[in-house]
Chains A and B, each alone.
Chain A
Amino acid sequence: MAEQPVTPERVSPERFAAGRDYLTALHSNGLRPEALMWAWNRQREDLVLLLVTSLVDRVGPEAVYRTLFQAFDSAVTPAAIDPWIVEVYSPDTIFAAKLERSFELRLGGGTLVMADGQHQRNAYFTLMAERYSIVADWVYVRPEPKPKANEQLAGWRRFRRHVEAAAAA
């Protein structure tokens, strides 16, 4: 079967808004992803929300996913983003390193600024040897440096407290 072209329209305005609301909910409750964006999984032919956070290494993937499911169940995060479509990566994984290198092209405002200084609106890049294609307009948070552990863990504890309080309410 021929591979479907990846175009910005694959993420509808509603879906993009839902992802932005998801990020706002995470931020306002204490969780700050080091990268967040929609990506087209070419193998499965579906959209996923890629979330890069070093919390994976600091508290473990089980705690991260458990809290994301609880946050979803207790409406701390928007109902439009089911955790099943959220894929969490450590920034130290092969994939995240490739993602960061891809962003060395410098991404800003839905426009890729190429190494030669030319702007390419709605450009997409494919992470070679990986399964995702990402369009510039799908990015909420481009890869950022890892936060200090104490600051990040304080935010994480706040996030958990809010989720547990909402679940208990």
Chain B
Amino acid sequence: MEFALKALIMRQERMNSWPSLQERRELHTHELRVLMTTAGIDPQGLPPELRVPWKVVLDWDHGRQYDARSMPRKVARDMVRAAFGTGGVVEWLNSQ
């Protein structure tokens, strides 16, 4: 997800290499919402069918790892589908 967003920023800004920390400090982040904003994507302006995949993807953080058991398959499948499935976030980012 992070790479897909960063690739979109590179395409938008016609970069041929990733800028250094000194050049573009704000791009050196793993925070998807920050990268989303930099890429000019407004959650409120997304097509309705993309709200759920984006929400599932954006909410992922370390706190959502499972404590004393493995992640249920249903949760894992939903996360992978939201990111990489047909109609998912990466497919949409690649089409922008």
Contact = CB atoms under 8 A, between A and B. Distances in A.
Given A44-B33, A83-B55, A88-B59, A62 B64 contact: no
Contacts of B79: 61
Interface in B54-88: 55-56, 59, 61-69, 72, 74-75, 77-79, 81-82
> Which 8 residue pairs across A and B have the least CB separation, nearest first?
A95-B63, A62-B78, A60-B74, A97-B67, A60-B78, A57-B72, A65-B55, A66-B52
B67 A56 contact: no
Contacts of B62: 94
Contacts of B19: none
Interface of A: 43-44, 56-63, 65-66, 69, 83-84, 87-90, 92-98, 130-131
30 contacts: A44-B31, A44-B33, A60-B74, A60-B77, A61-B75, A61-B78, A62-B53, A62-B78, A62-B81, A63-B78, A66-B52, A69-B48, A69-B51, A69-B52, A83-B51, A84-B43, A84-B55, A89-B64, A90-B66, A90-B72, A90-B75, A92-B66, A92-B68, A93-B66, A94-B63, A94-B67, A97-B68, A98-B63, A130-B63, A131-B63
B43 A93 contact: no
Nearest to B62: A94
Given A62-B56, A65-B55, A66-B52, A57 B67 contact: no
B17 interface: no
Contacts of A63: 78
